[in-house]
Copies of this chain bind each other. A is one copy, B any other.
Amino acid sequence: MKKYTIKDIALLAGVSKGTVDRVIHKRGKVSEKALKKVNKILDEIDYQPNILARSLKNNKIYSIHVILPDPEIDPYWIPCKLGIEEAFSEYKSLGVSIETFLFDPTNNQSFSEINDKVLQLNPDAVLIAPLFFNEAIKAFNAYKETEILVTTINNRVGDDNVNNFVGQDLVQSGKIAARLLEMITPDNSEIIIAHLDEFFLNASFMQQKEKGFRDYFDTNTNNSYKLKTCHSIESNQYKTLIDVIKTTKDISAIFVTTSKVYKVAEILSNFPELKIKVIGYDLLDKNIELLKNRQIDFLIHQNPRQQIYLGLSQLAEYFIFDKPVSKEKLLPIDIINSENFSSYLNQ
């Protein structure tokens, strides 16, 4: 395995390295004859430019700004910090700077303000968790005009101005929940779909999960579960959900579309006579505790840390090594139970 350099090619083709360089980069100013000679050699050998040398020469500092919900307000985002740190420590010596900006996930205006601020700072790329649909679209357009690369994570916001998405297929994740519940609950029973603390007024991800969940039962089985959707919020002490639990007969399971599934498990501990299966999202400490105690049966892992890390590393390697950024990177949808959660915690 010989590593060819531009110098080697120049020697083989009987031209100078400048000419080889011009051929490779199609910079023109090369005679027909020289072009042929160089291309002949390039066809014969497998030339791999040394990306170390290339990026050493490049020697720029690239700035990536990360726009995330404040993890103090929504703990789902806590693991992101680790993902960012990991990416930073890996790429900082290669000239990548990463800065984080937090917004209030209960407040769409806060999201817009942060985006305006970042726009002013004019980074090379932004990585955004686009919780608010309309505001996100607006921001994307602004970034496009300033030629700032945009990567989104967590939830898809279909828009051509986004160069890259890293996350999961949320419809499919609803189907996974449905299949799991189908296996552990009796036919003909009642299943509640609970949307908790839906402060994201124009957020669609809960709806996508519900869609997948319902689709599964509509198309995949001849079972006849009765599905009921329930919206419930903390400021109301989840009264709506508690009422549904009290008044509905024969509930076999509750599918919680967010990481707030621990709230449901806590509520259900007040009804020990009911044997209700619980499935929800994400490896929050509280959720894991309840999973261990069998008060939650399954969790689906959305892996925010991995999402951030992959998004950042794709951007970094695009800048440094010129690697192409995939338009869409769909992460696996992990099923978590009391026995395998630990294997995901230190990834």
Which A residues are within 8 Å of any B CB, using their own CB?
1, 3, 48-53, 55-56, 61, 92-95, 97, 168-169, 172, 175-176, 178-180, 183-184, 216, 297, 330-340, 342-344, 346-347
Contacts and interface: CB of A to CB of B under 8 A. Distances in A.
A178 B339 contact: yes
Contacts of A332: 334, 340, 343-344, 347
Contact of A50 (B93, B168, B343): B93
Given A52-B94, A169-B343, A172-B340, 20 more contacts: A1-B92, A3-B95, A50-B56, A50-B93, A51-B94, A52-B55, A52-B56, A176-B337, A178-B339, A179-B337, A180-B337, A183-B337, A332-B334, A332-B340, A332-B343, A332-B347, A334-B335, A334-B340, A335-B336, A335-B337
A168 B55 CA distance: 36
A93 B51 contact: yes
A331 B346 CA distance: 9
A183 B346 CA distance: 26
A250 B128 CA distance: 54
A53 B56 contact: yes
Nearest to A54: B52
Contact of A184 (B94, B183, B334, B342): B183
Contacts of A3: 61, 93, 95
B93 A49 contact: yes
A343 B52 contact: no
- Oligomer: number of copies: 2
A340 B179 CA distance: 10
A65 to B, nearest CB: 13
Contacts of A55: 52
Contacts of A179: 337-339
A340 B176 contact: yes
B61 A172 contact: no
A49 B52 CA distance: 14
A306 B204 CA distance: 32
26 contacts: A1-B61, A1-B97, A3-B93, A50-B56, A50-B94, A51-B93, A51-B94, A52-B52, A52-B94, A56-B56, A168-B343, A172-B339, A172-B340, A172-B342, A176-B337, A179-B337, A179-B338, A179-B339, A183-B183, A183-B184, A332-B340, A332-B343, A334-B335, A335-B335, A335-B336, A335-B340
A344 B216 CA distance: 19
Given A51-B93, A92-B48, A183 B339 contact: no
**Interchain residue pairs A-B with the least CB separation, the first 6:** A48-B93, A335-B335, A176-B339, A332-B343, A52-B56, A179-B339
Nearest to A50: B93
A81 to B, nearest CB: 19
A92 B3 CA distance: 9
Contacts of A49: 93
A339 B1 CA distance: 43
A183 B1 CA distance: 54
A47 to B, nearest CB: 9
Contacts of A95: 3
Contacts of A334: 332, 334-335, 340
A55 B61 CA distance: 19
A320 to B, nearest CB: 8
